[in-house]
Amino acid sequence: MAGSSFGTIFRITTWGETHGAGVGVVVDGCPAGLALCEEDIQEYLDRRKPGQSRYTTQRKEGDKVSILSGVFEGKTTGTPISMVVYNENQRSKDYSNIMDIYRPGHADYTYDMKYGFRDYRGGGRSSGRETIGRVAAGAVAAKLLKELGIHISSYAKVIAGIGICQQNFDEKEIWKNPFYMPDADAAAKVQERAEQAMKELDSVGGIIECVITGVKPGIGDPAFDKLSAQLGKAVLSIGAVKGFEIGDGFGTAFARGSQNNDEFAMKDGEITKITNHSGGVLGGISDGSPIIFRAAVKPTPSIARTQNTVNKDGQDVEIKIRGRHDPMIVPRAVVVVESMAAITILDGILKNMSATLENVKKIYE
């Protein structure tokens, strides 16, 4: 079944395997007239590319994007935008140690069960490289959102058990440490823990937080297409994400209604919320407060230790995964989360355009 598309009006379709010819995305439904060039995309891709620090894989890949269609004279034309990153790392390698073996924590086994066989080179479609298409599309969405006054900030909130301290929060710091953490102290501690884990041939997990400001009230649909549900799907569809929460999230389970309800109040002639336990979404629709959500990211399953597993012939075997792997997924996933958020919010805004007859008349007449 087709499952490589996301979004309704702003709709993306990704394709590609990590060791095939390349990976890419087709963005269909982008409004015409947005100034766009390859540099806009590259800036986002560079945030997820390998080799940025010793805490991400040391593979060397330029991940240079090409726009193949949908942009003319520097502007989107309204027709599909096809973008591709050709794989440099395509050389024929020796996969004999993994082609028949099911790596723990990976999708090898499940792909074989579903499709009967799989592209075993580097994880094939289930590799993190699949997210390149998401980030390229996210860059387009984020650029358009900027034109509407919407800003998305995402960062590591927790890595290896070390969380940021809200008092130390400094957005500029995000860009200064290899972990995309807005707290220099926390980042330093993460570095220690990471070194320790690497020494022990192990990997660590974490939590990414995303804050979206500038979203007006009214975005998102009742019932199944609640903005929170769409964001949840967007983020949970990223390979290593195992949890999603919005606003107070799992904390609401322990709260009283009187604590969790956000009271409304007039402020400078505007309706505002005094608190933001809701995370910017009420009844599935944006309430004008910043949208805040978190994603739990599991530790990299590729670890250098010897692990027990089985092969496809049904024999118990040991596996030792070779090659250079990220000791943590979080830093490179930060921009992926941000991209999926941008795509979801933009799609929500476009879907909301026809919410009222008044809006319809504003465009049609």
Subset of residues 297 to 356 that bind its own copies, contact rule: CB under 8 A: 297-303, 305, 307-310, 314-316, 349-356
Does 144 engage in binding with its own copies (CB under 8 A)?
Answer: yes
**CB closer to its own copies, 172 vs 224:** 224
| Euclidean distance between CA atoms 278 and 272, whole angstroms | 13
CB of 121 to its own copies, least distance (A): 8
| Euclidean distance between CA atoms 334 and 259, whole angstroms | 30
**CB closer to its own copies, 21 vs 184:** 21
Does 203 engage in binding with its own copies (CB under 8 A)?
Answer: yes
Residues 82 and 67: beta-carbon distance below 8 Å: yes
Q: Which residues contact 162 (CB under 8 A, 6 or more apart)?
A: 186, 189, 190, 193
Helix axes 330-352, 227-236, angle to 10 degrees: 150
- Out of 42, 154, 177, 278, point to the residue binding its own copies (CB under 8 A): 278
CB of 216 to its own copies, least distance (A): 7
- Give the footprint of its own copies on residues 218-277 (CB under 8 A): 218-226, 228-230, 232-234, 236-237, 239, 241-266, 269, 271, 274
Q: The tokens of 182 are what?
A: 């807005």
CB of 71 to its own copies, least distance (A): 8
* Geometric angle at alpha carbon 283, from 238 and 279, rounded to 5°: 55
**CB closer to its own copies, 118 vs 332:** 118
CB of 280 to its own copies, least distance (A): 10
Q: Which of these ranges, 23-31, 38-46, 57-65, 180-188, lies near its own copies under the rule CB under 8 A?
A: 23-31
Please, is 218 exposed, middle or buried when counting C-beta atoms within 10 Å of its C-beta (0-12, 13-18, 19+)?
middle
According to DSSP, the residues that pair with 65 across neighbouring strands are 85
- Give the footprint of its own copies on residues 40-99 (CB under 8 A): 66-70, 72-73, 75-82, 84
Residues 160 and 193: beta-carbon distance below 8 Å: yes
- Out of 54, 62, 95, 161, point to the residue binding its own copies (CB under 8 A): 161
